[in-house]
Amino acid sequence: MKQHAQRHLAEFIGTFALMFIGGGAILQNAATQSVGTTGIAVFFDGQVVFTDTIAIGGNHVTSDIARGLSTPLVHAERMKTLYGSALTSPSDERELINVPQIGEDGSGTPNQVAKSILVGIIQPRLEETFELVRARLEASGFDKIAGRRVVLTGGAAQLTGARELAQLVLDKQVRMGRPIRIAGLAESTAGPAFSTAAGLIAYAMRREAELRPQLRPERAHAQGLFLRVGGWLRENF
pLDDT of res. 22: 42
Query: CATH number of 1-228: 3.30.1130.10, 3.30.70.1710, 3.90.105.20, 3.30.420.40?
Result: 3.30.420.40
Domain locations along the chain? 1-228
Q: If you average pLDDT over residues 23-52, what whole number do you get?
A: 69
Q: How far is CA 195 from CA 117, 154, 169, 209, in A?
A: 31, 7, 23, 21
Query: Tens digit of pLDDT for each residue in 102-133?
Result: 877 666 677 899 999 999 999 999 999 999 99
- Taking only the tens place, the pLDDT of each residue in 181-225 is 566 667 777 777 777 777 777 777 776 666 666 555 555 554 554
CA 208/CA 214 separation, integer angstroms: 10
Q: Which helix (H) or strand (E) holds 134?
A: helix 115-140
Instruction: Give the tens place of pLDDT for each residue, 141-172.
Output: 888 877 788 888 887 888 899 999 999 999 88
Beta strands of the chain (E only): which ranges? 30-33, 38-44, 47-54, 96-99, 111-114, 149-153, 173-176
Structural contact between residues 120 and 161, judged by C-beta atoms closer than 8 angstroms: no
Question: Please, what is the Cα angle at 209 between 208 and 213, to 5 degrees?
Answer: 100
Average pLDDT, the chain: 75
Is the pTM for the entire model greater than 0.95? no
